[in-house]
Structure formats: C-alpha cells, structure tokens
Structure 1
C-alpha cells in the first residue's frame, strides 16, 4: 500500500518549467502574434454586413487578383518542389568544384531584400533586359505578365524546398538503396519504391512553405508585375490600394477571404502530408 501511494505521489521534476507554464506561455505568445491579429481582420470586415461583404469579394477585380496570386503561387511552389528536390539531391549526393558556393547561393533569397530582388528581376526580364530582349522578337513577354510574377515567386521560395529536403537526404541510409540494387531493382524502381516514399513528406512540407511564402510576397512582385488590374494585380497590392484609399473595411474583407482560402489550402496540403507519411505504417 505504501509503495502504491509513493508511486503516485512522487513527481519527477525537470530542469525546464512544467507543462502548465510552458503551455500558458505558448498560448499567450500565439494569441498576441497570430490569433488576435487574425481575429481583428474578421471583426473589421464584419462591419460591412453580409451583402456589402459579398459585393466586394465577388467583384471582378478581386476575383482576378485572387486568381493571379493563388495561381502563380501554386505554380511556383510546384516548380520548386521538382527542381528543389533535384538541387538538394545534387548537393547531398555529389561532390563538385564550387559546391559550397552553390549551396550558399540557395540561401540568397532569404537575405536579399525583396525590393532588390524585384528590381533585379525586372531589369533582367524586362523588354530591354539581358533575357527579356532575347524573347521579345519571339513575341514572348516575361516582365509585366503572370509569367514574370511566377518567376519572381520561384526565386524567393526556392530555399524552402531545398532546405526542407536536405536533412532527410542526409539521414537516409544508402545501404538500403544498395540492397534494392542487389535484389535486382532498377534505378527508377529504387527511386520510386525506396527513396521517394521517404522524401515525399519533406517535399510536401517544402511545397507548403514555398506556397505560403509566395502567397504573401509583395516586394519582389510589385516591380515585375506591372500592377495592371484584371491582369497582373496581386491580392496583397489590392489590399494596400484599399488601405491607401482609407477603405479599411474593404481591405480587411479581401484579407479575410485570402486568409480563409489560404487556411483551407494549407489544411489540404497538411492532410496530404500526413497521408504520405503514414500510408506505409498501415
């Protein structure tokens, strides 16, 4: 009886604070930085009333900006999911001259101010730029088009995929690949059956991070897009335009719609990631 009592009465103390303190601080931190600002967006937009709210968010200009923002962000994240995986593979599996330089260049979009990136890309892909002038005679315009927006988003979101996949590649045991080859598997079969299932959750995570980063990008896109309503105007720019016109309720209404759509898309991506990480465990 004494043993049973002591078993339940003894507490194991940790160097770090307990669950109650850490959970309370975490919730307070999230509330001030995430929950309260998001709540204010919905509270401000609720002043419009349902009819006015729907009139604003369903206007042709808002729908066009949402299409540009979400379409270009999704495409940029998809491109980076493929080529980011390729870059991570090359950096982890091969040794070549200048490898450290290439590895450092991948982090450049993290440190480079977005305005500098936007000016550089516009200068490069503009009609008189080094690359833009090559495509101009072919009738292909890059800057001031959705294509230019997508290129800018690919540039700023590439590191998220590479840096997410690299640690997984580092932890992979190459003996498993060698065993698959010894059992007669081709290179494609080894990649599809052995390597890809391990990398897929990390690739999906990198895709989600790249998509979220692209969706909220403003500085680099505002230069190369041209900001033409109904064609290259992104939603963050439209929100800023509303705020500059002192239409705070209208701006927050568009922001609320963007928040909801972003949350739903990220929720779907996380569900796919969960499925990819647990399908082999069943």
Structure 2
C-alpha cells in the first residue's frame, strides 16, 4: 500500500526563496544600489575631487588602520576570553559572560561618554598617563580603544561555540603522543577555531569601520589627525553636499567589501584545510 507523501511544515523552496529575496532587496540590495546610482550622477572629476581630498584620505587611513588594530587585538584577547568562559568555572562567570554583550546593548553615545570619562586627562585611567605626556582621549589611541570596545563581542561569540563543541579527547591524544602545550595549541586547537576566528575578525572589522557614535566623543574630531570617515560623511550630509557624502560612502563600501571578500576567502581556505 502506498502512503501519501507528507507535506512539509515549512513552505516550499519557491515561496521561501521569494520572501528571502524580497527581504534582502528591501534591506540591503536596493539601498546599496540606490547609493551607487546616486553617485553615478556625478562626473568623474567631481567624484575624484570628493574622495581624494587630503582631509578625506587622512580619515580613510585612520578609519581602516584603527579598525584593523582593534580587530586584531580582539582576535587575540577575544579568543582568550572565550577560552576562559568555556573551559573554567569560577565565581561571577555568568556576570562576565553577560558583560561581553554589553557593547551590543549599550547605546554608542553612552559608550563614548563612558570612555571619555575613563580615559580623559582627569579620568580614572587617563590621569595616570597625563603626567607622562600620553593622551588617550582625543587622540588616535582613543579611536583604537573605542573600536576595540565595540568589536569584542563579535570575536567572543563566534569562537565560544566552537570551543564548547571541541572534543577534549583530541587534546589528551595530542599530549599522549608527546606534544607539548604549544604544539597542541598550534596543531590541534588553532586549526579547529580558525574559521570561526576569521569570521569574528571580519565582523569586528566591518563593525569598526562603520562606527560613529562612540568614536566622535573620544576622538576629538581633529581634521587630519583624529577625524574618522563616517564623521566626514555626516558633516557633508549636514552641509547638503549629498553627492560628496555618497561618493565617500561608495569608497568605504567598496573597500569594506573587498576586505570582507578577502577574509571570507581566507575563512574558506581554512575550512578546506581543516
């Protein structure tokens, strides 16, 4: 006797694909396409003049370099935090685990004010560096700190599940075969978490490149020194120079896309190699 095929609970491919494309189009594809089409209304000379101004180029360097440094710091210490949260039990573990998500929940303006209060010349931390002529707030160091702060959860939350699923027997087998701790980390643990680590790094970097709220408070917004590119985009929009703002935005979009594509390629290579 033939039994009737059961209908799937979730709708079929056509309906779900249609809703997925519609959703992505409204939130992602159409806004990006609109930005590019709006920029195409400019002549090449006007576009190049807007994106190659020395003040804009200086903001590119600061935004991408500070984002790279912040994401790199998080790649190291975020992995360490994830390791501690997964492998050890200690009082207050749940509190620390919840604090990791604080940059997600805290408004960026509040985070910026908190960082200024902490690292200014009269702040709890900044007062100890001020006598040595080291300024943290209103300097490029402050920009790096702010971008590191907002990127930490991305690394921790992508590496943490991989470490939780990692079999400790592999570490024990490595030790039984005579490998020391460094060799076990390098040859056993690190290849397993590398794809997740690259994903967290890419997310932290992308988030840092577009950060605005927390940085403008601690950077001081000095042209050619501590002025980030998102601030320039907002400034041009407030001056009704929408084409200039769109042109700079397209450059940031293209650079971020290329870097994310490169990191995703490295992630794919690490997964295949693993």
TM-score range, shorter chain: over 0.9
Q: Tell me the residue number matched to 2:83.
A: 89
1:190 maps to 184
In structure 2, distance between residues paired with 1:60 and 1:240: 17
The alignment's TM-score, normalised by the length of structure 2, stands at: 0.97
214, 220, 227: which one aligns with 1:233? 227
Partner of 1:14: 8
What pairs up with 1:170-181 in 2 under 5 angstroms?
A: 170-181=164-175
Superposed CA offset, 1:140-164 (max 9, x none): 1111111101101111110110111
1:1-282 maps to which residues of 2 (within 5 A)? 13-280=7-274
The CA distance in 1 between the partners of 2:63 and 2:39, in whole Å, is 21
State the shift of 1:227 in Å: 0.7
Separation (CA, whole Å) in 1 of partners of 2:207 and 2:69: 13
SS of the residue 1:47 aligns to: coil
Deviation at 1:23, TM superposition (A): 1.0
Work out which of the two has the higher radius of gyration on C-alpha atoms and give 1 or 2: 1
Over residues 22-54 of structure 1, what are the superposed CA-to-partner deviations in whole Å (9 max), with x where a residue is unaligned? 111111111111011011111111122111101
Q: SS where residue 48 of structure 1 aligns? A: coil
- Root-mean-square deviation (CA), in Å? 1.3
Q: How much has 1:18 moved relative to structure 2?
A: 0.9
Task: Name the CA distance, whole Å, in 2 between partners of 1:255 and 1:11.
Answer: 52
Provide the TM-score with structure 1 as the length reference. 0.94
Give, in whole Å, the separation in 1 of the partners of 2:240 and 2:99.
41
Q: In structure 1, how many angstroms separate the alpha carbons of the residues matched to 2:78 and 2:238?
A: 37
Rounded Cα–Cα distance in structure 1 between residues aligned with 2:270 and 2:172: 24
Runs of 4 or more above 2 Å deviation:
10-13
Q: 1:11 to 1:55 in 2, by over 3 A?
A: farther
Q: Shift of residue 98 of structure 1?
A: 1.4
Q: Greater shift after overlay, 199-208 or 43-52?
A: 43-52
